[in-house]
Structure formats: structure tokens, C-alpha cells
Amino acid sequence: MATTTIVPTVVVGSPEKHYRSQIDRLKHITTASKSIMELVQVKRHATALEEVIRKLQRDYELSQDILPYAIEVRLSCQREIGKLLAESKKKKSPPLRVSEMGLTKRESSLFQRFANASDKAFHTALEKLKTEVVNGRYKSISTKRLLEELQMQVNGKDSPQQQSSVIKPSDNWNFSSIRYPRLQSQTDDWGYIPGDLYVNCLWYYAKPGDIVVAPMAGMGQIQRVYDDRKDWMRGDFFDFTLKLLDLNPRGPYEDKIQANDLTEKLPVEKADYIIMDIPYFGMVGNQYSHNSKDIANITNYQDWLKAMHAISKNCSIAQLPQGLCTVITPNYRHVTSQEILMVTDDIRSIWTSCGYQLFDKAYASRRIQKTQNISMARLNKAAKKQRIMLTDISEILTFIKL
């Protein structure tokens, strides 16, 4: 095997030219490699290169197609590994153990499933997902996401088939892997909910032809999910009208988001379904703007509740009886001050006072434990010592207009 180049920490000259050269080199080595061990090494370098490029895109004006190009090398390498694994099973001599090749059993299985797809199906699926990365709908392409797209290519997008795994069959909406993560232009320190949660809300509460309103649309995650609905709806695909509003329109879907202050009005008549991930009290101050009207910046809980009452009243005015309204929020606990606020109970009381009744409820993790670093360890220790549990669960409260 030709020696692969370790990605350097210092780049002299044009970063874009350098990393395109690195990608081309790995692509050539992938084609020339004849053994699983060689390809595993290429896969590791491709994965590292992909991560470096993703980080550098924040600091350099790199073309948006560089990252998908690097992702393509990794996935193509994985498919070649799958082909060699499948061939080794046909040989009489005992194959190497998966662990001896630097792979997990799960990787071995996934890569062989890549290999089972035809060249046409594989490249068609890959090109579609690469385009979605360029458009900012995905930060990367996971093996799971590619497999789902391959299955779509095999079955046909409109044919009846197994329901998408992103749709949860119970009221526990926790996701071991996120199908719709942060938008590519969304900073990591901003609050957000995964698009997977929107998928489940729309699946269970929206109907064909509905007017669906997202009055706190943020950067447009729900639009991204709607545009991709043919994938997660599968054979039960349908259309509805989606209207996006926000106090501070921004992000890749800014042109689709109407500027609006929900505490003053909801400029929609006869909304069939309203869904909002409200700014969590005391957790997202100044994350979205420094606007004094921004609910995220309210520090007094009673003032925050007054804003919620105005919002509930405006939603009620915009809906006819039997209309549904989903509000996503956690409770509030502060480890240092030991303050505990049962926010979800207050939200239920406010919406009930404005002509709604609780219709359904689901639960989703805020995934605060996903990063096990020293800061998280200290916070966990403080929570135990102070006997104040950290707030990890959001409640998805869905109300029906009476």
C-alpha cells in the first residue's frame, strides 16, 4: 500500500488547494488498495481529514463542496471494505477476525450492506446526500443515513415499506443517533432541538392539507424536515402548508421566515396545527439576540409567564376548535441557587386558561450528558452534592382548542 499522508496541523499556501490534494490522494489509494487492513487505514485518515475540513470551514472561506468530497472518500472506502469482507466469506481459508482488522462487528455488517447495493443505487444515494450537505441540511453523512437512502433507492420513494426509524412508536422520543442535527450554519452554543423531534410531532399531529405554523422557527429546522418528508413519511407521504415566523429570522431558510413578535400577534387565520420550541426560561439568555423583546432574554420568571400567556392567547385566537398546539419545554432547576420551577405545569395552566385542553404528551432528552468532559463531570458532582437534579427531559405538550 502506498503510504498515506497524515493531515498536517500547519498548512502553507491555499488551504483549499491543500485539502483537495489530500482528498485526491486518499481517493487514489482507496482504488489501489487490495486488502482490508490497507482500506481500514485509509478510512481512518479520511475520517480525520473530514473532521479537519469541517472545523476549518469556520475559519477559512473553503468551498462548500470540499466536505462532501471528503465524505465521499470515506463512504466509498467503507464500501470497498464491505466488498472484501463479503469475498473473504466465500474463501475456504478462515478469514481474519473483525477485531484484528480494526473494525467492530457493527461496522463489518454495515459496510457489507453498502457492498450489496448496486453501483448505480450507491452513487445515486451518495450524490443526493452530498447535495444536502452542500445545501446545509446535514453536517455530515452517517452510515445509517446512507443505508436508509439506499433502501429508498431499492424500494422506490412512493412504494409501501417499513416506517422510518426516526419515528418513535412510544412517547419516549429519545434518539440514540440524530438524523437531523444542527444546521451547518448553526453555532454549537445556541439552543436547538433536533429535527427528529419535529418529525415525530408532524407525523402524529399534522394531517394532509393542514395549515401548520411554526411561530418560533429559529433557523428553520422544521423547514428542513418538511423538505425531507418524502424520506421519513415513506409510503404515507402527504403535503401540508408550512408557515414559518420568528422574532429574528436567520439561517439558511431566512427567506422563508416571516418576522413577527408572537407576544403581540399571530398573523395566521385558522391554523390547524401550531408547534413551538419556546425559549427555555433562564437557559438561553442572549443566545438569539440582544433584543429586549426577545423572550429568551427575560430574567424574571413572572415576566416570562406573562409573555407565555400573551403567546397562548394569540395562538387561541388563530385556531378554530379541534386545532392542535404543541409546546416544547423542560422544567427549570438551578444547581447553585437551588431554585426549582415546575415550568411544564405552569405552561399547562396558561394554555388551559386560554381555551385549550391537554391532548397528548411525550418526552425527549435534552442530551445534556452527551459530552462527558471535565465540565460536565463537575456539574454532575455539584448536582449530587446540592441534591438538585439537572434538567434533562423536555416535555412535548400538545393541546387541543376547545
What does the pLDDT look like over 154-198, one tens digit per residue?
Answer: 665 544 446 788 999 999 999 877 888 888 655 544 557 899 999
Residue 351: alpha-carbon gap to chain centroid: 28
pLDDT tens readout for residues 351-380: 999 999 999 999 999 887 777 778 888 889
Strands (E), 202-263: 211-214, 241-246, 257-259
pTM of the model: 0.67
Contact between 345 and 361 (Cβ < 8 Å):
no
Domains of the chain: 15-155 (no CATH), 195-401 (3.40.50.150)
Listed in sequence order, the residues at least 6 apart from 265 whose beta carbon sits closer than 8 Å to its beta carbon are: 314
Residues constituting the chain: 402
pLDDT (tens digit per residue) in 311-345: 999 999 999 999 999 999 999 999 889 999 999 99
CB 222 within 8 A of CB 242: yes
